[in-house]
A and B are shown apart, each in its own frame.
Chain A
Amino acid sequence: MNLDAAVETYRVESLELLDVMEQSLIALEHDTANPELINAIFRTAHTIKGTGGVFGFDPIVGFTHQVESLLDRIRQDQLSADSGLIGLLLDCADHIRNLLEPVIAGHPLSGALTGTGQTLQAALARYIEAPIAATATRSGDDHAAGADTPAWHLSLRFDPAILQRGLDPVSLFNYLNGMGTIVRLVPLLDQAPPLAALDPERCFLGFELSYRTDAPREAIESAFEFFREDGTLQLVAPGSPLSDYARLLQTLAESTGQAGELLLRTGTLTPAELERILTREDTPVAAAIPPPPAVTQTRAAAGQAAPSPGHKAADRHFIRIDSDRLQLLINLVGELVIAGANTHLLARQARAAPVVESAANLIRLIEEVRNIALGLQMVQIGSTFQRFQRVVHDVSRELGKEIELHISGGDTELDKSVVEQIGDPLMHLVRNAMDHGIEPVAERLALGKSRHGTVSLNACHDSGSIVLEVSDDGYGLNRDKILARAVEKGIRPAEAVLSNADIYALIFEPGFSTADQISSLSGRGVGLDVVKRNVEALRGEIQVESEPGHGTLIRIRLPLTLAIIDGFLVRVGNERYVIPMDMLVECLEYDGQTRQQSTRQGYLDVRGEVLPVIRLADLFSVRSTRTERRENIAVVRYGHQRAGLIVDELLGEFQTVIKPLGALFSRLATLSGSTILGSGEVALILDIPGLIHHVMTRELS
């Protein structure tokens, strides 16, 4: 049996459950008696343990079992979840997380891991008064019956309701036949009413059987494990003294004569043996024993209980998809978009109205498929944000500060690959805000601020980018201190004149650190310059805003790097370029007079605002083929900055698939990719942030 896929599912599932456990524990800190939270936490441990056991991941099962026991005590109000206990449980969640990889891989646990486990178990045990031994699994033994084995005698009586409870003796007999042979079975109808009065959903049958098996008594009894509540089993071992059979006869509800006959019919006793029992022993076998099992179980009450509140995260149904397969799908959808556009174009050229209409329908459907396909690799940033709850919880303790994390915009969606890569930079910024941004409690109180410092995480979409903000309500940046530090470190010459924004941006320079005291956090030798590098690697940018005494806001702007975009097609000479639609602000007419002005100065006056412009023909060294006196400007925007792109012709909206540029073009910061037009021509996709940067730096120099 190949379990690899299931094991991988288990690994991913457990990591998610641990996230839920962590978040719920942190929430529990503020809401210590919330039974839903406690149940959610219990359930995570429960599932990790339960499923882990199925795979035989004993170290995980053993440890999680202890955690579960503790949680069970909290659940039953035998313990209250104080912050010490929550801290311990958070450590336990970490430990389980650390156990997962080595245990799944089948590696021996490292000494450190074992040590941590023991320490935590000892701490857990202090809460769980009496530690419970690790769980044992039960399993039924299979025994084949030897051919000449003497037979057991089994006498069975049932609660009439067994059938209604889904218990059918037929299955029992089949099971018995699996580990032995039922030599003879005699169904007893003496308890069954006449047919007309019989409730046919109830079982009035008793059974006497002789059974041959090598299995021990416990194995036979285990066959009845599910019937135990609803029936009686009398078992007489093969070769038992006759007195045992006599006792059996005595307990049978039937009269002696019939009971004896039964044992003859099942072959349990020979007539001679029966004779001996009946004559030799004058036991009062004639005394009828009341018929067996009284009905002890009430029937199921109709389902009236309300569904229990579940954890929100588990409410939705998910399937997991291999990301390679998803990528393949998206690539194919990309091809489909191109093919669809081509078909549409050909149809129009052929001027065949029904075909054009049909192609238009096709395009509309492709568009829907495209949107859905792209949505598949979009994930909400929320779960990434939630992870910081734990960080803030731990770090604020470490620092002796009181800090709360506020999260907003968690439902903002972005590309999965971006989410994966932005986690570390965000972590750094959050730690930095806590370490350097938020004041210690005493200082905050002295400043008339609230005891609790607040770090906020926010996400939103803005003109085709995603904006992530990390802010705090702490000191704010000290302009002079930063400047002094930059001069001291030789990052900036003392005489440079810099705007506030430029000065704040210095904190992202390599080797910059203003902390008066090196804390354990900032002492890691990793500066904010790493954050900047990571963000830039995602083709994003960082801005800093700060108000002394009120706090700092760091804004990361990232492109939504998608495989397919809505574009606006423009022509320059014989070349075609695509501007991502969400970065296009407007198109302007461009007459000969202003042309002269902009050529000299590199900017235009648009409704009183200065708009830097660039002629794409010059930038890409393309021979412009314009013959008319008019040209066109496409005004693009990225963040707060705008620029005008002078082009020969505006061709209109166009849906396009980004193909990565080859190595040849990879040095071009102003192009982000290429695409194939419906006509088969290649168009280059403009990298607007790169272009704007190009225009700005050109302006500065």
Chain B
Amino acid sequence: MVKTILIIDDSASLRQVVKLTLTSAGYEVIEACDGMDALQKLDGTKIHLIICDVNMPNMDGITFVKRVKTLPNYKFTPIIMLTTESQESKKQEGQAAGARAWVVKPFKPETMLNAVSKLILP
């Protein structure tokens, strides 16, 4: 069964790189540009992993995580938060919201792939 990953980031090029990386590793990738957009994409489609930027317009990553945790079909979905080392306080907020996996920007594509493989089966 092909695993589907939702990548949420306001940077289109970052999404492209992540998508390229993950699809070449055999995952299916859905893109969203912010939390609001992402919520609309959570329409019943099975999502195995969410990769989510912290700092986004419209709906930031922390708010998005809190929302996801209320959605019956998605509340247990593993989430990788994208962050920078300067966002320690955000990390605590994210932890409180239930996010556990963090990938520090900037990251190499292999790093992302590595993080993903620690969280879901291929």
Contact = CB atoms under 8 A, between A and B. Distances in A.
- Direct A–B contact in the complex, CB atoms closer than 8 angstroms: yes
Contact of A223 (B13, B33, B118): B118
A171 interface: yes
Contacts of A168: 78, 119-120
A54 B53 CA distance: 14
Interface footprint category on A: 35 or more
The prevalent SS among residues of B at the interface is: mixed
Contacts of A135: 85, 104, 106
Contacts of A315: 57-58
Given A166-B77, A226-B101, A54 B108 contact: yes
Contacts of A7: 13
B26 interface: no
B2 interface: no
B17 A175 contact: no
A314 to B, nearest CB: 4
A6 B117 contact: no
Interface string A48-68: 011111111000010000001
B70 A302 contact: yes
Given A6-B13, A50-B82, A174 B69 contact: no
B41 interface: no
B63 A307 contact: yes
Nearest to B85: A135
A230 B109 CA distance: 26
Interface in B79-122: 79, 82, 84-86, 95-102, 104-111, 114-115, 117-122
Looking at B13, B33, B96, which has the most chain A CB atoms within 10 Å of its CB?
B13
Nearest to B102: A226
A49 B106 contact: yes
B14 A50 contact: yes
Contacts of A299: 69, 98
Contacts, number: 195
A139 B110 contact: yes
For chain B, the bracket of interface size reads 35 or more
Interface string B56-84: 11111011011111100001111100101
A51 B14 contact: yes
B30 interface: no
A167 B69 CA distance: 14
Interface of A: 1, 3, 5-7, 9-10, 13, 42-43, 46-47, 49-56, 61, 68-69, 72, 135, 137-140, 162-168, 170-172, 174-175, 178, 201, 223, 225-227, 229-230, 297-308, 310-311, 314-315, 317, 320
25 contacts: A1-B24, A6-B17, A7-B13, A46-B55, A47-B55, A50-B11, A50-B105, A51-B13, A51-B105, A54-B18, A61-B106, A137-B107, A137-B108, A138-B111, A165-B99, A171-B78, A226-B102, A230-B100, A297-B98, A299-B98, A302-B69, A308-B60, A310-B57, A311-B57, A315-B58
Interface of B: 10-14, 16-18, 20-21, 24, 33-37, 49, 55-60, 62-63, 65-70, 75-79, 82, 84-86, 95-102, 104-111, 114-115, 117-122
